[in-house]
Amino acid sequence: MRYGYVRVSTKDQNIERQMVAMSGANVPAQNIFVDKVSGKDFNRPAYLRMVGRLQAYDELYIKSIDRLGRNYEEIVEQWNMLTKVKNIDIVVLDFPLLNTKNNVNGITGKFIADLVLQVLSYVAQVERENIHKRQMEGIIEAKKRGVRFGRPPVVFSRDFAELATLWKSGRISLRKASGVLGVSHKTFAKWARDS
């Protein structure tokens, strides 16, 4: 059986491009599973239903690898579960090297696809590390130039100290004191405790 998996990150995004690709791959409409949720993990309703239906020698079609997920370690884990445990073939339409059905010069498509996925996973990991390193370097340089990060420091009005003393001694209510300053009672109480 042929199955298709279509995913967009939000309900507002259009699935038409992916649906056209599924039609072009001759995936029956009733075998196309659609999720309109983030690809941050694989806990997605349609994906889980589809995995439950997949049987050995079925074929799964996906428009592009990022439709399967965003985290390459998890993609590799799912890929292995689908191709080795479930024993299905996967075809990524936009990336012919990720087609487990192909045989090239006696080398199986599963071997090539596994190799390509491992390389992609490694590249993604190195890029995440490089992004983190660049961020840290940027923060260090910005701090050298005097750039401050986080919320600006709280500047208390002249009335704060007096109101805090009145509130702590029980001569004014929390709501009254916070109302005078125009802040929430929780904010006032936090400031008074921290001062």
Helices 185-194 and 158-168: crossing angle, nearest 10°? 90
Amino acid at 105: N
**N residues, the chain:** 195
Rounded Cα–Cα distance for residues 22 and 63 (Å):
7
What's the CA gap between 123 and 99, in Å, rounded? 20
Nearest to 61 by CA among 25, 115, 9: 25
By the 8 A CB rule, do 75 and 117 touch?
yes
Q: Give me the catalytic one of 9, 23, 173, 195.
A: 9
Is residue 23 part of the annotated active site? The answer reads: no
- Catalytic residue positions, numbered: 9
